[in-house]
Every structure is written in C-alpha cells, then in structure tokens.
Amino acid sequence: MTATSDIRKTPPAWAAFLRRLTTWLVEDAFGGPRPWKFAWVINFQKAGTFFLLGFLIWFYDNDSTAAWVYLALHGSYGVVWLIKDLSFPDPGWQKKITIAGGINAFLGVLGWYWVFGWLLISGYSDPVYPLPEHVWFALCISLCLIGSVIMIAADAQKYYTLRLQRGLITDGLYRYIRHPNYLGEMMIYSSFALMVWHWLPMLVLAWVWLGVFAVNMIHKEASMSRYPEWAAYRQRSWWLVPGIW
C-alpha cells in the first residue's frame, strides 16, 4: 500500500466554492428525504436516450442519415454506460441525494444532453458541416468510439486497482494522462456536439467542462498530492492530452 504524507495541495478558492455549490445543488438541495441514488438519476437519462431519439425520429419524420447516425452514437453510448455501471459502478454516484438535488441534476445538466438530439432531429439546427457529410460522420463516429474505450478502460482500471490496493495509479492509461476518464467523456460528447453543429451544445459542454469537470480534476489532484510520489508523477504526466496539455 502506498504511504501518504501530511502535505496536501489546497484547491483554489474559486474551485472550492464551485465544488460546494455543485454539491449542494445536486446532492443536498433544500434537504428532506433522500429517496434515490445519484446513479439512478444518471442511469434514467442514459437509458432513456435511445428511446427518446427514436421517438423524435418518428415524430419529426426525419429519415436522414445524420439523424440515424446520431441515434447510433448517443443512444448506444447510453447503453454502454449502463453496462459499465452494472460491471463496475462508480462509488461517487452511489450516494443518496435529495428530491430537489435529483431534479437539479437532471434539469441543470443531464436533460440538456437530450436537447442536442432534438436540435438535430427536429431540423432546428440544420447543420452545414465544414467537411463533406461522410467525412464528418466518420470523424464523429471515430471520436465517440475512441472516447468510449478510453473512458471505460480508465474507469475499469481505477475500479479494480483500488479494490486491491489503495494509492496513486501511475500505470496503464494513467501513465501519461492523469485524467483519462474525463478525456474519454469529453471526446464522446464532442462527437455529439459536432454532429449537431449548433452553438447551444458547445455552450452546454463549456459549462460542464469548466464548471464541473475542471473543478473535479483540480480537487482530484489536490487529493492525490498527499502521496509522496505525486510530484514525480505530475512532472512526467499530462493533465488530459499527452504533449499538449
């Protein structure tokens, strides 16, 4: 087991504030009963995506290739997430949350992901891609597939490694990237936003990545800084993308 030290990096004040605010909004809002797990709210959205997109295709009578490709990407990702959650559930999602917290989580973030598909399938976005459609679709499919593999592999490595030994994970996908699970998620949702090609998905992702993902990564690094080998690991690894950032 890896030893820890008493030296721990403190997150900046703005990140600590956003973390407290987000925690209150999606876990503790207005107190009261805690009838559901955070994971149930997330899984409801993931499980419903395929059916919702199929309904939208039927409702808007949209038989375009873009609509079906989007359903395959976003809908199948929801199924992939459910399989992952059944196989190695994230302990962070197992906490019980208040009724208002679950509603906030859905309306504040998760529900907006459904808007992506509506924009495309309803015809509201009417995207004109920078590249020929077949090239653009290939790019989006590749981003989604590779991102899914990175996210699942990273979560599986963390889950099974920490079951055997607590400590800093510095091999496998974590050898060069300190947050590969977030990188995978960002690639997946980038593929959805690129398919829709509208400013709203870009705005939603900017909020999630800066207000949630970045804050979580900052706090994670503050927690990992308690390990003696942290400084050396940080020097030889990258935050998200090797050789860039």
> CB neighbours of 103 closer than 8 A, spacing ≥ 6?
none
- CA 154-155-161 angle, to 5 degrees, is 90
71-127: per-residue pLDDT in tens? 999 999 999 999 999 999 999 899 999 999 999 999 999 999 999 999 999 999 999
Both ends of the chain: CA-CA distance in Å?
Answer: 30
141-168: per-residue pLDDT in tens? 999 999 999 999 999 999 999 999 889 9
Interval 192-204 mean pLDDT = 97
